[in-house]
Amino acid sequence: MPYLGNTKVLDRLPEPDQAITIVDGLFDNIRVAFIEKEPANFSRVLGDTVSSGQAELIKDELAKLFAPKVTGGTVGAVDTFENLQVTGIQELTDRHGFRANVSGAATISGRHWGHTDRRNLKFQVLLDITGDDDQWRLADLTVVDQKEI
């Protein structure tokens, strides 16, 4: 992450490898939120990762990637993300942060008729990431493309 000593630098764009580290951390926290069984825990974990007031607004879009439907209409869960790549970074004009075009793959699993169904997805998402309270938070996510491989 862009740091100068121990201070996070919010007024400059991260390098691509720094952006991947930021995205990987956000994705892992959101992945954990989506496997929570208790609604209060889901909201708490997601609230720690998503910008204030945005969780409810982007929950449906997050579910497309983090809780996709699998065989028989069962809701799956992300096991792992792989091959994350940032293909573009630009500064946000209305707040401190950046927009990143991210592509990668995810391994999804879901229970179906007594067995675990696994799927691999390729995806491309557009993320708005802001620096709030000395922490990176997801402000917006748009699933641009998602397909089973």
**């995205």: which residue's tokens?**
23
| Percentage of the chain lying above the pLDDT 90 cut | 43
Residue pair 146/65 in contact by the 8 Å Cβ criterion: yes
Q: Residue 130 is encoded by which pair of tokens?
A: 């802001």
Asked if residue 55 has pLDDT above 80, the reply is yes
Model-level pTM? 0.85
At residue 13, the 3 state secondary structure works out as coil
C-alpha to C-alpha distances, 103 to 2, 47, 83, nearest whole angstrom: 21, 24, 8
Give 84-123 as a DSSP string. EEEEEEEE-SSSSEEEEEEEEEEEEEEEETTEEEEEEEEE
Produce one character per residue of 98-132: b if its CB has 16 or more CB atoms within 10 Å, e if not. bbbbbebebebbbeeeeeeeebebebbbebbbbbb
Query: Model confidence over 105-131: pLDDT tens digits?
Result: 999 988 767 777 788 999 999 999 998
Residues 24 and 93: their CA atoms lie apart, in Å, by: 23
C-alpha to C-alpha distances, 107 to 18, 54, 77, 79, nearest whole angstrom: 23, 26, 8, 5
Query: Model confidence over 130-143: pLDDT tens digits?
Result: 987 778 999 999 99
- HSE at residue 32, side-chain half, CA atoms within 13 A, is 13
